[in-house]
């Protein structure tokens, strides 16, 4: 284990040099980095909210809206299922948190039950004992009435999926602002935590996140106006939609077909732009193949008629179709500003939120706390390193110096890896960094104490050193693997600060093994080669430990 081939030495030194290059930007200012050549790494480790300040938002999913949307989906699924099975029904509505189906012939109830039960899906985990069905289909209190009810299992799964979808959508929206440092994690069953370091004004962030951005395109009723529908009732299959404030100069409300012609899910891109004639801000959009086909067929048969663009339940524009739109692209015009057009384009491009998010908690953290924390963290790390270095050198002499050099390599490699992968440094991350310093020295302690035992047992210096590194390596590997397993579990199940600690701890484990075993072993091997040069008997060498 003490023999190093030339290529191994070059690889170890090359790794240390590359780590030094990637860690170096963290020790200079951004102004200095700008003057560096382009071939040198310039990426600094981003600081978290607790170190540089920023915006902190805690959002709650609207469970009522989520349940309502699910009931509407179940109603449409039940209607389609019964039509395909050619089972007559007189009404399908929503009442008492259930879809109520009233059949034309009560004697068709058994066949209807059999068809509707095909909609039931198993959910949960059998191993964890949380399995069940997402819905229940049962007979109502009256003959010919069937109820389709969401279950608690189904609602829990719906909530879990909605939270995961919300996190993904928010991440896309927030990252579109030009940062990779934001943190979006789930807290509890129905809450999402958003932390945006370096942002002092939360207004744009709230506007960007707060809108559900459910986009749909609807046909406008050709004859019935909103006033007429409000005076009596909307025609079957139609619904009254209020106009957005920007559209109220034209019309206060519209009677639109309830089932949209095209959903926002069919959008593949949306970008802010300017109208070529008026130079006003607009949003250009493009459908996928399915959306383009549906929109093209609709526009061909409705030339000269208006159609409405609905965002979050309000009509934002109701243009007239001048000609068939067959290319699958178009534009949304309205009283947009440049900022609002950009925000809406980001929202549409990132996809709709599954339900409305309500701000439960809003905080702005100042950078002064972060500066104090950074200085305290630096001081703690510096004191820890100096104390560890002094104790190690006092305990193990020259070999202790080699352990301290390995410790420096360990610190450099952690900074380099965190900078390369863009890991955000937080206060718990600093704690994990300081902890790994002690872990790195602990590995050297195991090796050196083993060498001492072998020397006391009468082994030669070379044999003692060889056995010390070889035997202690198994113990070091076992101890580091158990710590690594704990770090992985913390990263998997934790969130926010816990994950920051787990990431730093994981990187520290990897670099500590390299520094304590490989780098220190190379230094000891170079010392042994130098000490035995010109000597025929290696037993005469005194091990400085």
Those residues whose C-beta lies under 8 Å from the C-beta of residue 98, and which sit 6 or more positions away, are: 71, 147, 148, 149, 150
Provide the 8-state DSSP code for 423: P
Asked, colleague to colleague, whether 63-157 and 211-363 share their fold, the answer is yes
The residue to which tokens 């202690």 are assigned: 472
Per-residue pLDDT tens for 110-154? 888 888 888 888 876 555 455 678 888 888 888 888 898 888 888
Q: Are 45 and 377 in contact, with CB atoms under 8 Å apart?
A: no
pLDDT value at position 245? 65
User: Cα separation of 54 and 32, whole Å?
Assistant: 25
Strand-by-strand arrangement of the 262-263 sheet: 262-263, 215-219, 307-311, 314-317
448: its two tokens: 């050196």
pLDDT value at position 18? 92
Low-confidence ranges of the chain (pLDDT < 70): 1-2, 124-131, 176-181, 204, 210-213, 245-250, 333-335, 347, 350-352, 366-371, 373-374, 495-497, 533-541
Residues in the chain: 545
pLDDT value at position 1? 54
pLDDT value at position 540? 57
Q: Are 140 and 146 in contact, with CB atoms under 8 Å apart?
A: yes
The CATH class given to the 211-363 domain equals alpha beta
pLDDT value at position 131? 67
Helix (H, G, I), strand (E, B) or coil at 259: coil
Is the backbone of residue 243 left (phi > 0), alpha (psi -120 to 50) or beta? beta
pLDDT value at position 16? 92
User: Cα separation of 175 and 208, whole Å?
Assistant: 11
Give me the CATH code for the 6-50+367-540 domain, please: 1.20.1640.10
Those residues whose C-beta lies under 8 Å from the C-beta of residue 284, and which sit 6 or more positions away, are: 270, 271, 272, 273, 329, 330, 331
Residue 84, CA atoms < 13 Å, CB-side half-sphere: 9
User: Cα separation of 3 and 11, whole Å?
Assistant: 14
The CATH class given to the 63-157 domain equals alpha beta
100: its two tokens: 């109520």
Domain boundaries, the chain: 6-50+367-540, 63-157, 211-363
Per-residue pLDDT tens for 165-212? 788 778 777 776 655 567 788 887 788 888 877 777 777 677 777 666
Those residues whose C-beta lies under 8 Å from the C-beta of residue 479, and which sit 6 or more positions away, are: 442
pLDDT value at position 63? 85
472: its two tokens: 């202690």
């Amino acid at each position: 284990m003490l023999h190093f081939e030339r290529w191994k030495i070059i690889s170890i030194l090359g790794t240390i040099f590359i780590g030094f290059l990637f860690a170096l930007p963290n020790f200079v200012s951004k102004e200095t980095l700008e003057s560096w050549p382009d071939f040198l790494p310039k990426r600094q480790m981003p600081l978290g909210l607790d170190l540089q300040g920023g915006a902190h938002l805690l959002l709650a999913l609207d469970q009522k809206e989520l349940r309502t949307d699910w009931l509407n989906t179940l109603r449409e699924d039940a209607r389609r299922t019964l039509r395909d099975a050619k089972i007559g029904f007189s009404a399908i509505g929503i009442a008492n948190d259930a879809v109520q189906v009233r059949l034309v012939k009560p004697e068709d109830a058994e066949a209807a039950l059999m068809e509707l039960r095909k909609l039931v899906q198993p959910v949960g985990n059998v191993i964890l004992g949380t399995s069940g069905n997402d819905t229940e289909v049962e007979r109502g209190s009256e003959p010919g009435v069937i109820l389709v009810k969401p279950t608690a299992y189904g609602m829990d799964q719906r909530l879990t999926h909605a939270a995961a979808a919300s996190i993904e959508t928010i991440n896309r929206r927030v990252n579109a602002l030009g940062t990779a440092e934001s943190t979006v994690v789930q807290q509890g069953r129905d809450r999402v935590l958003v932390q945006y370091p370096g942002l002092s004004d939360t207004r744009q962030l709230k506007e960007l996140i707060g809108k559900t951005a459910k986009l749909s395109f609807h046909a406008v009723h050709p004859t019935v106006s909103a006033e007429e529908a409000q005076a009596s009732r909307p025609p079957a299959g139609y619904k009254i939609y209020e106009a957005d404030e920007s559209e109220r100069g034209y019309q206060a409300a519209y009677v639109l077909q309830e089932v949209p012609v095209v959903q926002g899910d069919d959008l593949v891109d949306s970008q802010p732009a300017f109208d070529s004639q008026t130079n006003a801000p607009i949003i250009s959009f493009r459908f996928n193949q399915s959306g383009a086909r549906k929109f093209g067929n609709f526009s061909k048969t409705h030339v000269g008629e208006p159609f409405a663009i609905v965002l979050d339940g309000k009509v934002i524009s109701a243009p007239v179709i001048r000609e068939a739109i067959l290319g699958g692209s178009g534009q949304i015009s309205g009283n947009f500003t440049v900022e609002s057009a950009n925000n809406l384009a980001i929202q549409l491009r990132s996809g709709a939120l599954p339900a409305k998010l309500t701000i439960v908690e809003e905080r702005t953290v100042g950078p002064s706390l972060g500066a104090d924390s950074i200085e305290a963290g630096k001081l703690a790390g510096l004191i820890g390193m100096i104390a560890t270095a002094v104790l190690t050198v006092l305990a193990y002499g020259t070999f202790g110096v080699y352990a301290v050099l390995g410790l420096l390599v360990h610190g450099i490699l952690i900074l380099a890896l965190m900078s390369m992968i863009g890991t955000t440094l937080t206060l718990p991350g600093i704690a994990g960094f300081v902890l790994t310093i002690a872990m790195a020295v602990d590995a050297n302690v195991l090796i050196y104490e083993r060498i001492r035992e072998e020397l006391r047992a009468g082994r030669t210096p070379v044999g003692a050193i060889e056995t010390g590194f070889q035997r202690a390596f198994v113990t070091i590997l076992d101890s580091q693997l158990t710590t690594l397993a704990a770090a992985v579990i913390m990263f998997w199940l934790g969130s926010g600060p816990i994950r920051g600690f787990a990431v730093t701890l994981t990187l520290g484990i990897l670099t500590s093994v390299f520094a304590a075993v490989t780098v220190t072993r190379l230094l000891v091997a170079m010392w042994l080669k130098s000490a035995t040069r010109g000597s025929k008997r290696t037993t005469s060498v005194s091990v400085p430990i």
